[in-house]
Amino acid sequence: MLTLNACGSAGKEPSASEGGKLFNDPRLAGSVNASSCATCHPGGKGLEKAFENPKLVSVINACITGPLDGQPLEVSSVEMLSLKLYVESFGGE
């Protein structure tokens, strides 16, 4: 898989804050359309139970390669881990 540094996060630690930036970035993973994760999930809508999904990383990549028309992120990349942290932050209560 290709790792893309959409927000220049090389050398950074994964964080929910970085994930939030990526979640709202229409250029995530080389996307060529004007959509971002937030287009389909404004304010995290529909992601309240995502933290329970053991295949969350695969689901994130499916959204990136499907609706966003981007390239999949490496599963252990700072970008993916940051997105995962951010998406997981919508649930739990």
Distance of alpha carbon 59 from alpha carbon 82, whole angstroms: 14
Encoding tokens for residue 13? 């630690």
Give the DSSP per-residue string, 74-88.
PTTSHHHHHHHHHHH
Q: What is the mean pLDDT of the segment spanning 36-41?
A: 97
Interval 46-74: pLDDT, tens: 999 999 999 999 999 999 999 999 999 99
pTM: 0.85
Q: Where are the domains of the chain?
A: 16-88
Architecture of domain 16-88: Orthogonal Bundle (1.10)
Q: How many CA atoms lie within 13 A of 31 on its CB side?
A: 25
